[in-house]
Amino acid sequence: MASSAAPISDSLKKIWDQWNLRSFIMLSLTLQTFLILFAPLRKRSSSKWVIVPIWLAYLLADWAANFAIGLIASSQTNTDQGSPENGNLLAFWAPFLLLHLGGPDTIIAIAMEDNALWPRHLLGLIFQVVAAMYVFGMQFSNQNKLLWPTLFLFVPGLVKYGERTRALYLASLESLKETILAVPEPGPDYAKYMDEYSSRKAAHLPIKIEIKEGRSSDSKNVTYRLGEGDVIDNITLVEGAHHLFQISMGLIIDLVFDYHQRKESRAYFIKLESGDAFTSIATELNFMYEALYTKVYVVHSRRGYLLRATSFIAVCIAFVFFYRLEKHGFHSFDVGITYSLLFGAVALDSIALSMLILSDWTIAVVYKYCKKCCVVTDLMMKYLEFKRSWRPTTPPKCLERTRKILFRRWCESVSGFNFIDYSLRECGRSVVRPVYRFGIFEIYRTVIRFLGYLYHRIIIFLGHLYLRIIKFFGLKYLRDEMKYRSSKRLDENLWKFIFDELKSKSSEVADDPKIGREICSSQGDWVLLKKYEKHPEYKNLLACFVDVTYDRRILMWHIATEMCYYRVDTGNGGEHGEYSKTLSDYLLYLLIMQPALMSSVAGIGQKRFRDTVAEAKKFFKKGRVGSNVNLGEGKLGEACYKLLDVDTGVKPVNVKGNRSKSVLFDACILAKQLMKFEDSKWELISSVWVELLSYAASHCRAQSHAQLLTKGGELVTFVWLLMARFGIEEDIQVLEVQARVKLIMEKQPDVFQSN
């Protein structure tokens, strides 16, 4: 019986056996270089074109290094591996792969869930070290010319892999809880006190109980050192952010600030200008990102500095050994790969060192010892001023572009999603059927019209086919985000407006927990009550707030804001109109395109959005608003006018029932109510949007905020931390007191005191 031909020829097998290990070695080095250079862009960009390649490189890096170690281990038992020198060289490559498995300093995890997998990395460390030692043991002999360089390279390999495992452990929620939670406080010895009390009472001795309030032992050690000086400069902001960051990490595990922490941060932020507060929060979030997703927590310590210096020296010694080694018997190509690995190890450590020196962590630590050195202080000040988002003078374009790519702390932009624009563009093209006429010239025109009609029908068919395909694979969400998501730079005046609104509310909170809870739970009605209670249309507008869930409120106010914004006769509202427009688009973007963040407050937001889009598309197609695919403000304005022309004398629920969750015409009613406020309309709308943003910021899970740091950051996270700094929280701890109880005998002044 004839044997069937092998699917892979012997020549391909030979090529694979010869080049597989070398290819994966170079792939591993390339991925490490890519990650150390481009992984920091995760905190500076929200673009999918940046995040997805980093995600793929992160996953491929471990796989390539593990696979290469397996190939080296299997090659040691291969009798056809070539000369002994070749086997020694393969053993010399194994510690490099341990170095690569340790990963670059700029990324240890893609998401917070990866930190919880530190036991898996610990097992991986053990097994990969055993495999590398097995490879080394197979080549251990006096004839091995690479014996000492290989031993030296095991040092940085173990250090880097160990650093990664420890960094993952320290960033896990279990470790954070153990580190951040205070020492247990059992309080006074109640049993001892009651024994004393009972014995004296049983002896019929006259006793008197005296209770005094006092501060706890922990609170006595609190020092309000933030903002002690009159001048708050960039270095002071970094120092303050570093101090506050260590407190803010407790928010990740759902702790709240105690009385003294809240008082300290609130007193500090009340003194700051809006721009300085923004810089402080950006720096604090940058510390948080690096603590959760990089090795910085492990490296920035005396032990970390010592181990990093030791590993760098070991790599340099191995490099010198190999450079001075007689390379007779080695393949020239393999020698080139080895030099690439050595150069790569030195270069990657040098890049990591430069990033370490330029980090905010180094500035916060070094400045304590260099305050009297004017040269160092001036350099730090200029560098930190260069990193600020907003500066009084406009820098050259090349410097600004460099800052955005390498030094900015977050993406510095606000995303947006527009409901009316989305509905109009999803309506698609309206194709007009050609009118057939007969005549010498009319036949030619009719043919041209028919061909155009046929072309448009084909395009529409292909579009429908494309949508069905991406829906089948579940990619429509990704397509909508890439197509309809807009982005604009965060305006300094908009941040100042948000800052001032929250600052004014913080003065009302003070030490009253009840007011704090009311402000945090408010979704726009607080502003209406405090500022517009005497307005004649107050009660009519307040009716739009009754029994309206958060997701319904965002969608209604977004559509109503669009209608007011595109009314030509009333204007776009100046600065407050632009604030309202930006925040309106941003909140809808969070609701629809950040479902993981808004899951705790969104309700049935996705269902409500789809029903409203369906009703809008039906209305626009009927009114032929979306017949032109080239949309602009004129087309959006036309759509808003047609919506406002609809008679809304009867509530939509009384006509349609509650089967459909659409709020399209409820938003029309709201828009008409808002227009009655005339000159104060935009101040009201912008303040309501700040409240809606504050509600989202305070009610989203802290871990979701931390996850957003890996996607360029979001404005809602800045607002979340700003509210915490101002003390605007639902759970506010009152002053910690510890009772001081004395049992006093009237005749014998014997005092028992429990502290």
Mean of pLDDT over the chain: 81
Highest mean pLDDT: which of 256-270, 505-519, 692-706? 692-706
Rounded CA separation 635/641 (Å): 10
User: How many CA atoms are closer than 13 Å to the CA of 393, on its beta-carbon side?
Assistant: 5
Q: Is residue 97 within 8 Å of residue 65, measured between CB atoms? A: yes
Query: What predicted TM-score, i.e. pTM, was given to this entire model?
Result: 0.87
| Cα torsion angle, 274, 280, 284, 285, sign | positive
Give the residue-averaged pLDDT of 643-671: 83
724-736 pLDDT per residue, tens: 888 887 765 544 5
DSSP 750: -
- 295 neighbors 303 (Cβ within 8 angstroms): no
Q: Tell me which of 118 and 741 has the higher pLDDT.
A: 118
Kindly state the average pLDDT of the residues 365-382.
Answer: 80
Q: CA–CA separation, 157 vs 95, rounded Å? A: 6
- Highest averaged pLDDT of the listed ranges 12-21, 202-211, 301-310, 473-482: 301-310
Answer yes or no: are the C-beta atoms of 532 and 538 closer than 8 Å.
yes
At 584, list the tokens: 């309106």
Which has the higher per-residue pLDDT, 390 or 169?
Answer: 169
What residues does each domain of the chain span? 12-179+296-357, 184-222+412-711+714-755
- Whether 570 and 675 have beta carbons less than 8 Å apart is answered as yes
Sign of CA dihedral 471, 473, 474, 477: negative
**What pLDDT does residue 181 have?**
74
> Residue 730 corresponds to which tokens in the numbers above?
């639902």
Asked whether 512 and 730 are in contact (CB, 8 A), the reply is no
Q: For residue 356, what is the enclosing H or E element?
A: helix 332-357
pLDDT score of 637 more than 70: yes
Report the pLDDT value the prediction gives residue 182, as an integer from 0 to 100: 62
Q: Using pLDDT thresholds of 50, 70 and 90, give the confidence band for residue 310.
A: very high
pLDDT of residue 431: 41
Tell me what the mean pLDDT of segment 13-39 comes to: 89
Q: For residue 720, give both structure tokens.
A: 């979340």
154 membership: H or E segment, kind and range: helix 147-171
Give the CA angle between residues 564, 566, 572 to the nearest 5°. Answer: 75
pLDDT confidence band for 534 (50 / 70 / 90): confident
φ, ψ for residue 528, nearest 5 deg: -60, -40
Three-state SS for 188? coil
CA 386 to chain CA centroid, nearest Å: 23
Buried/exposed 67-81: b ≥16 CB within 10 Å, e otherwise: bbbebbbebbeeeee
Residue 111 scores a pLDDT above 50? yes
pLDDT band at 751 (very low <50, low <70, confident <90, very high): very low
